[in-house]
Amino acid sequence: MNLKGLATGVGSLPLDNVQKAIDLILRFLPAAPFWPQLPKCDMREGMIAQFAENLPGVKVSTSGVKFSPQDKEKELELFYERFIAHDLPYFKISPDFARGLHLFYQRILDMDLSSIEFIKCQVTGPFTFCAGINDSDGNSILHDKVLMQAMAKGLAMKALWQLDLFKKFGKKIIMFFDEPYLACVGSAYTSVGRSEVIDLFSELNDTVKASGCLTGIHCCGNTDWSMLTDSGIDIINFDAFDFQERFVLYADNLNSFLKKGGVICWGIVPTQGYNGSQTPDMLTEKIKSGLDFLVKKGINRELLLERLMISPACGLGTLDVHKAEGILSLLNQTSAFIRKNL
């Protein structure tokens, strides 16, 4: 598997025109396109609400997403009946919650897919999802172990539903769990610990990888990256523009991760820091400095290059459209530059 410079996106785009969003993705990321999350189209396309349908006790309204069950035990019982039955249609993501997903699917039905190497999908990770939902007392359900387990299983089913939908195209699929909350682990802001993250993602990973996809975690902040290298995940996606110097300090963990088949997706194109002055050679040089450091720490350079993907540093959903287009264009150019020059 030689990925060297393969480019994909994180998930969200700031457009309210779905077809234009898909046009941009297919134009700039032809080898590893993704379905777009479009929060400016509808609040139900936010990263918490989008995956909330039919999860026990979770209610979505114009005021947000909250845990407000009519009967918690009955709703959990129904949920586990559907989970145990592997009822994928029950866990679907409907067009009202993901127009980008359904129209992307329809678009590629009618396309020549020869240029596509991977189809990239995504779901919000369980820690970020649960941290974003409060109960009626204002407490985050992140700290309720019963609900955390249920939500994690439900999100795994949302991932499996996507994999089942896109499998007909015969392409390798990448399934990302978007987990910005992991940047809090190890700080005073959360009681979530390293072992909890590893255990939950090991379970999630086993469930989802049984369908034959590659799995990844996207975290756009700094964290204990050894949690991810030890979780069984295939791809680690990090903000290489702002946090590369901290990420490469985990060289020993990354060496083991790569030797087991792992892939590093360098989020090298800045999002909040994008100003139009960045160039493909500048971003490639930054990656090269990270590679040089890791090589000095004993990692094989060819292995690093073979397992090197790139992406934006984070999702683009909060940016203006012009900036988002510039970032995707720069990502495309950087991918070509890496493949030619590294």
pLDDT tens figures, 246-260: 999 999 999 999 999
**What would the pLDDT profile of 110-129 be if each residue is shown by its tens digit?**
999 999 999 999 999 999 99
Domain assignment present for 284: yes
How far is residue 340's CA from residue 320's CA, in Å, rounded to a whole number?
Answer: 31
Domain assignment present for 1: no
pTM tops 0.85 = yes
Is the per-residue pLDDT at 188 higher than 80? no
Percent of the chain with pLDDT over 90: 95
Is the per-residue pLDDT at 136 higher than 80? yes
* Two structure tokens written together for 37: 């999350």
Is the per-residue pLDDT at 293 higher than 90? yes
SS3 277: coil
Is the per-residue pLDDT at 1 higher than 80? no
pLDDT at residue number 330: 98
* Two structure tokens written together for 150: 């249920």
Percent of the chain with pLDDT over 70: 100
The residue whose two tokens read 């002055």 is: 277
Residue 186: pLDDT band by 50, 70, 90 thresholds?
confident
Domain assignment present for 230: yes
pLDDT at residue number 47: 95
Is the per-residue pLDDT at 60 higher than 90? yes
Please name the helix (run of DSSP H) or strand (run of DSSP E) that holds residue 272, with its range, or none.
none
What is the arithmetic mean of pLDDT over 162-188? Answer: 95
How many domains in the chain?
1
Give the mean pLDDT of the chain. 96
Domain assignment present for 245: yes
Is the per-residue pLDDT at 237 higher than 80? yes
What is the arithmetic mean of pLDDT over 317-329? Answer: 97
Assign residue 64 a region (left: φ > 0; alpha: ψ between -120 and 50; beta: otherwise). left
Is the per-residue pLDDT at 81 higher than 80? yes
Lowest-confidence segment of 91-95, 139-143, 261-265, 294-298 by average pLDDT: 139-143
Q: Per-residue DSSP letters for 37-72? A: B-TTT-GGGSTTGGG-TT-TTEEEETTEEEE--SSH
**What would the pLDDT profile of 199-227 be if each residue is shown by its tens digit?**
999 999 999 998 899 999 999 999 999 99
- In this structure, what CATH number is given to the domain that contains residue 251? 3.20.20.210
Q: Look up the domain containing 261 and give its range.
A: 6-341
Give 66's contacts (C-beta < 8 A, 6+ positions apart). Answer: 58, 59, 133, 134, 135, 136
SS3 324: helix
